Amino acid sequence: MTERKIQTVCGYSCSGCEHFGAECPGCAKTSGKPFWTAYVDADTCPVYDCCVNDRNLPHCGKCPELVCGRFTRFKDPGMSEEEAARCLAAMEKELRARK
């Protein structure tokens, strides 16, 4: 059986995240307040906040400013720069496909 892809505002798929489930139900269910915001001194994910709360968009693929500084600011500290770049490219590709 194929794992269901969980779409997010930023293009990342929560279904591929090791924290999804018990630790984090995803940005949609947390209204943009996933577990990791506590580690970056933020109340709400800046990407979610901008896209959903400020611009009233369903995802960043609808934003004329994709790719912006909010989108590229945070990366998993366990990723190399190359891995982070590949992840961001995949997220951007996903969002542009949804446009």
Q: What is the pLDDT of residues 67-93, one digit of tens each?
A: 998 888 877 778 899 998 998 999 999
Domain membership of residue 70 (yes or no) is yes
**Three-state SS letters, the chain:** CCCCCCCCCCCCCHHHCCCECCCECCHHHHCCCCHHHHHCCCCCCHHHHHHHHHCCCCCHHHCCCCCCHHHHHCCCCCCCHHHHHHHHHHHHHHHHHHC
Give residue-wise pLDDT tens across range 43-54: 999 999 999 999
Give residue-wise pLDDT tens across range 30-41: 999 988 888 888
The total number of structural domains that make up the chain: 1
| pLDDT class of 4 with cuts at 50, 70, 90 | low
Domain that includes residue 51, residue range = 14-98
Mean per-residue pLDDT of the chain: 86
Domain membership of residue 2 (yes or no) is no
Domain membership of residue 56 (yes or no) is yes
Domain membership of residue 54 (yes or no) is yes
Domain membership of residue 4 (yes or no) is no
Domain membership of residue 1 (yes or no) is no
